[in-house]
Amino acid sequence: LLSDLANINTASMNDSQLFAYLRVISAANYAKTSGIKAFSLAASSDPVTSNGFGRHYQQQAEVGISTDFIGKNWAVGINKQLSTDSHYSNGYEANNSWDGSYAAYTVGNWVLSAAQQQLWWGPAYDSSANFSNTGRPLKALQLSRLNSNTPLLSVLEPLGAVNIQLLLAEQPGSALLRHAKVLAARVNIKPLSQFEFAISASQLHSVNNIVPADAIQNGPLSEYSYTFPAGRINSVSLDGRYSINSNTAAYTEVSLNNGNAGWLAGAEYLIANHHLQAMLVAEYKEVADKMQQWQSLQHDNPFGQPAKRWLVGSELHYRDGSSIYVNLSQASFSENTALVATIPLNKRSQLAAGYQTKFVNGLLSIDAQISRDTIRSGEAGQVGDADFSQGIAVRWEYRW
């Protein structure tokens, strides 16, 4: 790949093509290494939870170490995080974790992996009907195709690129549904260069209550009335993405969860020159009050998933490796969600921003957010006072 790239005449490229070329060169050089080690430090004043942009911070302080070993047809990654003073409010702290660890082996055009990593199934940036980075990483065995462009069978060539993912997983002990079992599958098909669609299905088998009994009776969650999950939660979703032109794309996803429906829609606009790549995103999501999206529920939030949510945001990537993002979102909570039967929160408006740059031979990330929560009063249907909260987080990572 690198030798082919070296033979390309960059003088004939436009600004967008040159920016993409330089990013591919950088990524290919990085992928050549047979082993990568990293050390990171992070601190946050409060939970910082920007989903598709930035990072999640759930502890006041964290130290991380990791190492990756990459062979011809195998790879192993060991990641260890040591944290203190968790921001979690679900009763299950996770101050020591192995998030991001994995082992993978390729056989033909298939990859078998065992990992505790985040999954993101769906075309959206801020949310998903299936798996996203809002919940704790699953402990999962996964079988997936390595090269989706290779036809499964000759008769299936008209389908174009086909990717298949099969998943057998368990929620970690620090998740809301601790140790819940998950069986899932996803098929992604790209019959046209500008259009792709996918179908996903999952079954979640709950084996524990969402919060410990003493937290309900005596802890900070005692004032809320909880509804507990069904023993089995079956989900199916269909999503698609269409590239309108080289700069603009639209996407949508519809889902059904134990008979309750939800949908989301969004669009992105991408522009670039040889110094900068900019992405603009707008997204809207709406779900039924009783939809039980436990596998992607915010693990630091006792208020359940919002019934409606919209987001507009932008992300800028510079040639020197630095980047900036900013987004504005608003979530509306109904009075009866899957998690909390009577919740005090009506709306949450949030402004989030972040910056990433080189610093002391490493990568420095700064993320911040400010939220305005509109709280219901004691009278049904009436709105009470507004409550403001903020959070800032800093992370530095060094790799060698």
In angstroms, the CA 301 to CA 316 distance is: 29
pLDDT over 80 at 335, yes or no: no
Over range 375-383, report the average pLDDT. Answer: 56
Determine the pLDDT at residue 294: 64
pLDDT band (50, 70, 90) for residue 67: very high
Element (H, E) at 165: strand 161-170
Q: What is the number of alpha carbons within 13 Å of residue 111 lying toward its C-beta?
A: 20
pLDDT band (50, 70, 90) for residue 227: low
The pTM for the full model equals 0.84
Determine the pLDDT at residue 336: 56
Beta bridge partners of 112: 105, 143
Q: For residues 367 and 225, which has the higher predicted lDDT (pLDDT)?
A: 367
pLDDT band (50, 70, 90) for residue 133: confident
Q: Looking at 6-20, 218-232, 241-255, 364-378, which range is the least confident one?
A: 218-232
Q: Tens of pLDDT along 285-321?
A: 998 877 766 665 655 555 567 788 999 999 999 988 8
User: Is residue 146 exposed (0-12), middle (13-18) or buried (19+ Cβ within 10 Å)?
Assistant: middle
Q: For residues 30 and 100, which has the higher predicted lDDT (pLDDT)?
A: 100
Determine the pLDDT at residue 341: 47
Q: Which alpha helices (H) appear in the chain, and where do they start and end?
A: 2-6, 15-31, 213-217
In angstroms, the CA 203 to CA 206 distance is: 10
In angstroms, the CA 68 to CA 102 distance is: 9
Tokens standing for residue 373:
């929560």
Q: Tens of pLDDT along 154-202?
A: 888 888 899 999 999 998 877 767 788 999 999 999 999 999 999 999 9
Determine the pLDDT at residue 213: 47
In angstroms, the CA 215 to CA 218 distance is: 6
In angstroms, the CA 115 to CA 97 distance is: 13
Q: Tens of pLDDT along 179-188?
A: 889 999 999 9
